Structure 1
Amino acid sequence: MRAAPLTGSGIRGPALAAGDPVVLVAHGSRDPRAAEATRALARAVAAARPGVAVSASWLDHTDPGPTEALRSLAAAGHPRAVLVPLLLTAAYHRRVDVPAAVAAARESGPPIDVRVSDVLGPADGVVDGALLAGLRRRLAEADPGRFDALVLAAAGTRDPRARGS
């Protein structure tokens, strides 16, 4: 997650209050370990932000989806929330699925204003230093000196803007 506070320039949408709940939204996987990793991340974010409700949601394979998570917050009386896409590129899921989930949450149930942060990966062509630091830590754990080459792999996209980041 970006090192900047949630009220920083990486958040788009209505004004955000200090205690507004945070909804993390991951891609989702058939592998249950992926959902547990997202839940663990939500617990870590909540521990780092005492007094802020932090929940996890998924675009596919695991419930709740972001629409349901936002509707639950609205039903509990929260007028605002911030949604953080746990995605590495601003491709289809960030440009289409995330805005559709927010729109669906706004169209039914109690009203809720939602701010959506940038993705974790490059935003406007700039890779966040915290993401690079995390990658460096993981590479050090893998002991890359023992290998002839290193492959950094990610799921692809047809979106040329995301491929260019």
Structure 2
Amino acid sequence: MRPAHLTAEPPVVLVAHGSRDPRAAAATRALARAVAAARPGVPVLPSWLDHTDPGPAAVLRDLAAAGHPGAVLVPLLLTAAYHRKVDVPAAVAAARQGGAAIEVRVTDVLGPADGMVDTRLLAGLRRRLAEAEPGGFDAVVLAAAGTRDFRARGSVGRVAAALGAELGVPCRVSYASAAP
């Protein structure tokens, strides 16, 4: 018999990159509330890899301490670059090293993990563009944090190409760091 405080479905742990800008954490918390509203009865908890607490390892340890046998960890990342390949697995390992007996299933990133650009990602980008410039635009720059991982840069390029094709305007990629 499962204790009453445990749900039939495993809790969802959202993992954002993190930012010094407090609006980023507020946006992640709002997303967690929206996902929780869409999945009544399933705990949805935010976490961050950097700049904001709690980190995913702490959230996983807390879930294990509360008796949850498993969790689904969702990286809120657009590419399967360093953070997905190194930081996320390290957080899961850190939780287990801290004594957390919890099974963790890590999902794909939000971007094109299998080479295909998800139409929901494109719809979200179109919504944001419409909010920023309701009257339209004649070109788009898709700004990304940056990565040295050429496959991750390729996935950002696929998103830019798909977005440009949908909008009928040129769409170019620009990186803040770690990539030309």
- Aligned position for 1:161: 151
Q: Return the match for 2:34 from 41, 44, 49.
A: 44
**Structure 2 unaligned runs (5+)?**
1-6, 156-180
SS of the equivalent of 2:80 reads coil
Q: Distance in 2 between matches of 1:141 and 1:57?
A: 27
Superposition TM-score, scaled by structure 1 size: 0.85
* Contact 1:80 1:114 (C-alpha < 8 Å) held by counterparts: yes
Query: Which of the two has higher C-alpha Rg?
Result: 2
Superposition TM-score, scaled by structure 2 size: 0.78
Percent identity between matched residues is 83
- Aligned position for 2:57: 67
- Aligned position for 2:4: none
Residues matched between the structures, number: 149
- Aligned position for 2:122: 132
* Greater RCO, 1 or 2 (C-alpha within 8 Å, sep 6+): 1
Q: Report which stretch shifted further, 90-99 or 17-26.
A: 17-26
Task: Give yes or no for the alignment of 1:56 onto 2:22.
Answer: no
Q: Distance in 1 between matches of 2:53 and 2:88?
A: 15
The one-character-per-residue Cα deviations of 1:84-141 (angstroms, maximum 9, x if unpaired) are: 0000100000000000101111222230000000001111211111101111112222
Q: Distance in 2 between matches of 1:134 and 1:124?
A: 19
**Structure 1 unaligned runs (5+)?**
1-16
CA RMSD of aligned residues (A): 1.5
